[in-house]
């Protein structure tokens, strides 16, 4: 308790010369002096007098606690930042995101880490985390793709329009603007979009087109587009033309044409003129190829 005795004598101005020197070299000298200096600036009405040593000691301990907190808080803040940074690093940088895509008028077949196979239609894209694939077979799709899924754990295809879940099967997913469609060719597929969930078996289709849900049957064993043909059943003509634009990298302009009329039929992917004949004649329309990538479709004139 020698330090408390020195402090008490300092407060009473009873220190000897040697004791003053020793006291001034203490680590808490600056804190003690600061308390006294500030107290001297108070007016009488505001001044709280240090009546005795115990009162001063309490003030000193409070001051010391405040000083310690001034360096503890920054350390806690730094620790929090480091913890968040490590979390961000392991969440984002520990991923191995793989992206596969096709351009307009381009198709591609991709093998996934489990040897599942994905064939991308034109202007489509898939992304997945290769590092997590063994524990979670999941990918994101924009556009259209035909899947041949190897048997194994659950396989999810996530699109803006809905989620397709399978184990091992063959199916086609189209996820275009205002157009979400799943066709099962083999096995069983579970499809969920908003509140609508269906389990599809081979030959069943699930479609949400312009927010309207419908189901249908098909006798096909694989998508027509994988054999360079597109086929449609009761689809708005504008959606048919959008697919033609993607397959041929052209821009179609309508004139005096009701593009909302429903179309059933198809077109080939290797001859633009033949494709245009296939979609315009059943609709009693004409077309003009004004440049290599510009097409005009218009109603027939008498």
* Per-residue model confidence as pLDDT tens digits over 182-197: 999 999 999 999 899 9
Question: pTM of the prediction?
Answer: 0.69
Which of 55-64, 98-107, 168-177, 208-217 is the least confident region? 55-64
Note whether 106 and 125 are within 8 A (CB): no
Q: Is residue 112 helix, strand or coil? A: coil
Bridge partners (DSSP) listed for residue 193: 196
Q: Are residues 205 and 282 in the same domain?
A: no
| Residue 151's CATH number | 2.60.120.1440
- In this structure, are 243 and 208 located in the same domain? no
Same domain, 102 and 221: yes
Asked if residues 213 and 181 have their Cβ atoms less than 8 Å apart, the reply is no
Q: Which residues contact 226 (CB under 8 A, 6 or more apart)?
A: 107, 119, 146
Domain of 68 in residue numbering reads as 2-93
Where is the domain boundary, 167, 197, 225?
A: 225
Same domain, 48 and 115: no
Residues 6+ apart with CB under 8 A from 190: 164, 165, 166, 197, 198, 199, 200
Q: Is the pLDDT confidence value at 43 over 50?
A: no
Mean pLDDT of 286-299: 93
Total Cβ atoms within 10 A of residue 298: 15
Spatial contact of 116 and 170, defined as CB atoms under 8 Å apart: no
CATH for 242: 3.55.50.30
Q: What is the pLDDT of residue 300?
A: 76
Structure tokens at 67: 């000083």
Task: Please give the Cα distance from 217 to 236 (Å, whole number).
Answer: 19
For 148, 207, 222, 224, the CA distances from 234, given in Å and listed in that order, are 27, 12, 19, 16
Domain count, the chain: 3
Tell me, yes or no, whether 281 and 238 share the same domain: yes
């Amino acid at each position: 308790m020698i330090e408390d005795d020195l402090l008490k004598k300092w407060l009473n101005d009873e220190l000897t010369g040697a004791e003053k020197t020793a006291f001034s070299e203490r680590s808490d000298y600056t804190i003690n002096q600061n308390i006294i200096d500030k107290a001297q600036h108070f007016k009488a009405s505001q001044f709280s007098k240090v009546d005795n040593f115990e009162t001063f000691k309490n003030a000193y301990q409070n001051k010391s606690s405040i000083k310690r907190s001034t360096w503890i808080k920054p350390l806690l803040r730094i620790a929090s930042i480091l913890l968040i940074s490590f979390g961000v690093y392991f969440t984002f940088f520990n991923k191995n995101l793989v992206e596969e895509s096709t351009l307009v008028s381009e198709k591609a077949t991709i093998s996934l880490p489990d040897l599942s196979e994905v064939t991308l239609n034109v202007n489509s894209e898939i992304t997945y985390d290769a590092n997590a694939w063994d524990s979670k077979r999941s990918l994101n799709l924009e556009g259209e793709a035909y899947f041949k899924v190897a048997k194994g754990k659950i396989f999810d295809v996530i699109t803006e329009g809905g989620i397709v879940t399978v184990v091992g099967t063959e199916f086609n997913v189209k996820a275009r603007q205002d157009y979400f469609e799943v066709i099962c060719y083999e096995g069983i597929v579970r499809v969920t979009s908003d509140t609508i969930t269906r389990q599809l078996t081979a030959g069943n289709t699930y479609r949400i087109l312009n927010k309207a849900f419908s189901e249908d049957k098909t006798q096909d064993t694989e998508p027509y587009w994988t054999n360079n043909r597109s086929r449609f059943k009761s689809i708005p003509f504008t959606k048919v033309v959008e697919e033609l634009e993607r397959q041929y990298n052209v821009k179609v302009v309508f004139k005096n044409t009701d593009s909302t009329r429903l179309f059933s039929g198809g077109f080939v992917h290797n001859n633009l003129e033949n494709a245009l004949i296939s979609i315009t004649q059943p609709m009693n329309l004409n077309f003009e190829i004004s440049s290599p990538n510009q097409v005009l479709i218009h109603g027939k004139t008498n």
